[in-house]
Structure 1
Amino acid sequence: MSLSAIAQRLQRGLDKRPLEDSIKFDCGADGTLTLSGGSAQLVDRPADCTIGISLANLEKMIAGKLNPVTAFATGRLKVSGDMSVALKLGKLLG
């Protein structure tokens, strides 16, 4: 799954439940995805919370095959900024 396809999937969630805060997924060389308000965009802009994760692990997390808490505990994702914003991501994915 490409970062563009992930953005489209997250956009469907944002259409139902927009975020009040902004979250950025930094996938390194594979690109950046920023969720802000009601949009998911492939742009690198400042966000309330930045999640550093590989594209492969982001794909697994979006597909429900990687638990975000486990990924955080094992170092497969790193959170900087407001941790409470990262916790809101579950509502978007659920």
Structure 2
Amino acid sequence: MSEVIDTAVAALREKMDGSFDGTAKFVIEGEGAIMIDGDEVRAGDEEADVTLSADADTFKDILSGDLNATSAFMTGKLTVDGDMGKAMQLGSVLA
């Protein structure tokens, strides 16, 4: 597993607050994928309600709070495939 994935899993675990009630997958280009299932966060690549994809720098900026997930989506830095409602719910958790 890559250091980027390990770091991202740890950061996401800290941000999850119990308000996300679905499954989501973050695909970090060239690094791998992270699964969120409710409050559980782990490296993995299974089917999910929503899949969000970005490069490593964009993902780091979102996790650090330097980039809003909605702004990343609107500028094409973050792509979303699947349930847009779940993406928005997850975006509010990450804010």
TM-score in same-fold range (> 0.5):
yes
Aligned mates of 2:62, 2:37 — CA distance in 1: 19
Aligned mates of 1:5, 1:27 — CA distance in 2: 12
Q: Aligned with 2:93: secondary structure?
A: helix
Q: Aligned with 1:4: secondary structure?
A: helix
Structure 2 residue runs of 5 or longer lacking an equivalent are none
Structure 1 residue runs of 5 or longer lacking an equivalent are none
Note if 1:47 corresponds to 2:48. Answer: yes
Number of the residue aligned with 1:12: 14
Aligned mates of 1:19, 1:74 — CA distance in 2: 24
Note if contact 1:3-1:55 (Cα within 8 Å) is conserved in structure 2. no
Note if contact 2:70-2:91 (Cα within 8 Å) is conserved in structure 1. no
Quote the RMSD (CA, aligned, Å).
1.6
Note if contact 1:10-1:92 (Cα within 8 Å) is conserved in structure 2. no
- Of 75-84 and 1-10, more deviation after overlay is shown by 1-10
Calculate the TM-score normalised by the size of structure 1: 0.87
Number of the residue aligned with 1:87: 88
Structure 2 counterpart of 1:4, which letter? Answer: D
Calculate the TM-score normalised by the size of structure 2: 0.87
- Of 26-35 and 43-52, more deviation after overlay is shown by 26-35
How far apart are residue 18 of structure 1 and its match? 5.3
Per-residue CA deviation, residues 30-80 of structure 1 (Å, 9 max, x unaligned), is 110110122111100000000011111000011111121221111101000
